[in-house]
């Protein structure tokens, strides 16, 4: 079985493929798994033994030539693309999987000779298609990130139909690189010391915790907790890392721009912890099973956080997180919310790597940030649990409702229905109400009412679609009536798509839009039938959320009100 995976985005995306590659190999041990990737990502896949062959696409060169715009440059870009694809085009693939969310990658998957395709793809009319329900879910999450529930590893796992995938470690460092790293420790006085890795850089500035805060944290770890500091980064971030080293002084070594990927993997595996912005090395550390503390400002840790149990995510407690428009934000105040003292508390108290922290965990940052620890839910999906005991937010309740309902309908978990009551109760147990149950119950009840209004709108739309179908089934159907019903349906669907943008119902609206947009353009009668199916699906999900919301209200009503440390 020949399988080709297309991934031409970033280093972090490449690293998040490793558990999927191992999951595919475990399911199909005799398969040949190949990669079509960019030069920047190739080094990641070079260290993966389950990959049979790597084909590289000179993405950067092609993009540069196209951006110049001259006829000669465009022709050169096409020639480069043809040369890059020559090898993969000659192979008859059993399965092509596109994990890149770009039109160009979807087009690549379309033109290759494949028996079966998964992921982001286009049809023969060059239109996007998302036949897999989990892929539709991922598209709906883009404009609704605050309600996202799943790491991209788990989304992609379900897109390609894997019931389970291995947990970390995914990468075993080269023994020679380990020996050389330990020799470096001997030479620098780091041998037998606690090592904290620091990665101060990121792909863009608005994802970067201020270097002054990294420096302050490093000095605290050195002076108060006996740590040695290893600074990581690439050549482009060397200036920032040099500045950080100067600010820290003794007890720190700067490895930025001095290691290959294999050497970086070895050093990360020897760290006790890595403190980092949302970067590729964060995923590399989790791949070798080194615990990470990820600082998130724009991206959503639930979607792109490190994959594995025991990692920590910290983010500003502000209404605009996760950021939907960093380019439009002028002040970037969120970068100042996380204090070095909070990160120190996470590192100094090993217990905070476990579930159910105390109310005293956050001091100076209480109310300003939220801290989570990663674990796996009963169905094998990565989830994030609150590290500090605090009241549960209404957005978190909505996310919990959306998650359990989606898993019931599309997660293939046969035992979900019997175990979700226990799961919901357990999740509420990670929070305390602090006398706020009544307000939460009122918010949930109001949400149920809005869901009911949304359901009524869906019922109206479905009835119009049924009327269209009934008219089309007549031997001599009335074209004018079909057009009038179609216009009526369009007006209803406009209301559906704009219904309650302030709650997770906006996720359902977007999901409905994705379902409808991905219906094949077929004969009118078949089109109406599939449209009715899309209405039925969203109505079932909405009904499921309503039922679970009522169940959650009962659990909140039973939950004792507490104050202080539980």
Q: What is the CATH number of the domain that holds 105?
A: 3.40.50.2000
Predicted pLDDT of residue 277: 96
Q: Tens digit of pLDDT for each residue in 55-90?
A: 988 877 887 888 888 888 888 888 888 888 888 888
pLDDT at 566: 28
How many CB atoms lie under 10 A from the CB of residue 489? 20
In the structure encoding, which two tokens stand for residue 95, read together?
A: 């399965």
Q: Are residues 337 and 451 in the same domain?
A: no
* Greater pLDDT, 38 or 468: 468
Say what percent of the chain tops pLDDT 70.
90
Regarding whether 338 and 202 lie in a shared domain, the answer is: yes
Do the domain assignments include residue 166? no
pLDDT at residue 563 tops 70? no
Residue 495 lies in a domain: yes
- Is the same domain home to 458 and 315? no
Residues 245 and 369 in one domain: yes
Query: 429 lies in a domain?
Result: no
Q: Clarify whether residues 44 and 185 are in a common domain.
A: no
Return the minimum-mean-pLDDT range out of 77-86, 152-161, 359-368: 359-368
Least confident of 106-115, 118-127, 135-144, 370-379: 118-127
Q: Which long-range contacts (CB under 8 A, 24 or more apart) does 304-308 make?
A: 304/12, 304/16, 304/151, 304/152, 304/278, 305/151, 305/278, 305/374, 305/382, 305/384, 306/282, 306/374, 307/16, 307/19, 307/151, 307/153, 307/168, 307/283, 307/382, 308/167, 308/168, 308/374, 308/382
Q: What single-letter DSSP state applies at residue 565?
A: -
The pLDDT score that the predictor gives to residue 324 is 66
Q: Which of 159, 194, 227 is the last residue of a domain?
A: 159
Lowest mean pLDDT among 241-245, 307-311, 525-529: 525-529
Q: What is the pTM of this model?
A: 0.89
407 domain residue, yes or no: no
Domain range for 286: 175-390
Q: Would you say residue 133 lies in a domain?
A: yes
What is residue 413's predicted lDDT score, i.e. its pLDDT? 56
Q: Which of 159, 187, 208 is the last residue of a domain?
A: 159
Residue 386 domain-assigned (yes or no) = yes
Tell me how many domains the chain contains. 3
């Amino acid at each position: 079985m020949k399988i080709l995976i297309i991934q031409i985005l970033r280093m972090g995306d490449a690293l998040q493929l490793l558990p999927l590659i191992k999951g595919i190999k475990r399911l199909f041990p005799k398969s040949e798994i190949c990669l079509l990737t960019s030069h920047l990502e190739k080094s990641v896949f070079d260290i993966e033994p389950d990959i049979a062959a790597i084909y590289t696409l000179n993405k950067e060169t092609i993009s540069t030539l196209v951006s110049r715009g001259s006829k000669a440059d465009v022709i050169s870009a096409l020639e480069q693309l043809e040369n890059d694809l020559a090898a993969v085009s000659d192979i008859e693939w059993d399965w092509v999987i596109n994990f890149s969310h770009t039109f160009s990658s979807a087009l690549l998957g379309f033109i290759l000779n494949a028996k079966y395709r998964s992921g982001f793809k286009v049809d023969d009319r060059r239109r996007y298609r998302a036949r897999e329900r989990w892929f539709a879910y991922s598209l709906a999450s883009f404009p609704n990130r605050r309600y996202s529930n799943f790491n991209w590893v788990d989304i992609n796992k379900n897109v390609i139909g894997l019931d389970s995938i291995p947990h970390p470690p995914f990468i075993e460092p080269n023994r020679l690189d380990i020996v050389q790293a330990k020799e470096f420790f001997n030479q620098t006085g780091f041998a037998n010391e606690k090592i904290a890795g620091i990665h101060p850089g990121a792909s863009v500035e608005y994802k970067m915790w201020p270097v002054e805060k990294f420096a302050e944290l490093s000095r605290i770890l050195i002076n108060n907790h006996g740590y040695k500091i290893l600074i990581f980064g690439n050549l482009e971030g060397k200036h920032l890392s040099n500045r950080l080293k100067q600010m820290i002084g003794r007890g720190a070594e700067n490895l930025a721009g001095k290691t290959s990927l294999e050497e970086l993997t070895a050093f990360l595996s020897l760290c006790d912890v890595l403190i980092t912005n949302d970067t590729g090395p964060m995923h590399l550390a989790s791949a070798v099973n080194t615990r990470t503390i990820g600082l998130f400002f724009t991206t959503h840790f639930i979607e792109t956080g490190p994959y594995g149990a025991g990692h920590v995510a910290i983010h500003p407690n502000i209404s605009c997180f996760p950021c939907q428009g960093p380019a439009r934000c002028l002040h970037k105040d969120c970068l100042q919310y996380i204090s070095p003292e909070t990160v120190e508390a996470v590192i100094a108290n090993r217990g905070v790597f476990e579930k159910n922290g105390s109310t005293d965990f956050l001091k100076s940052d209480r109310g300003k940030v939220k801290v989570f620890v990663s674990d796996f839910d009963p169905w094998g999906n990565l989830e994030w649990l609150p590290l500090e005991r605090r009241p549960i937010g209404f957005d978190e309740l909505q996310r919990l409702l959306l998650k359990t309902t989606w898993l019931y309908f599309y997660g293939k978990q046969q035992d979900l229905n019997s175990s979700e009551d226990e799961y919901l109760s357990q999740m509420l147990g990670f929070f305390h109400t602090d006398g706020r149950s009544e307000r939460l119950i009122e918010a949930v009840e109001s949400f149920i009412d809005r869901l009911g209004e949304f359901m009524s709108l869906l019922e109206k739309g479905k009835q119009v679609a049924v009327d269209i179908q009934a008219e089309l089934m007549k031997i001599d159907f009335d074209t004018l009536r079909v057009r009038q019903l179609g216009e009526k349906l369009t007006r209803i669907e406009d209301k559906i798509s704009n219904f309650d943008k302030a709650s997770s119902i906006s996720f359902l609206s977007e999901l409905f839009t994705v379902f409808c947009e991905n219906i094949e353009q077929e004969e009118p009668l078949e089109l109406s039938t599939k449209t009715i199916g899309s209405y039925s699906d969203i109505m079932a999900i909405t009904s499921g959320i309503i039922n679970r919301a009522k169940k959650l209200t009962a659990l909140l009503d039973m939950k004792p009100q507490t104050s202080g440390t539980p």
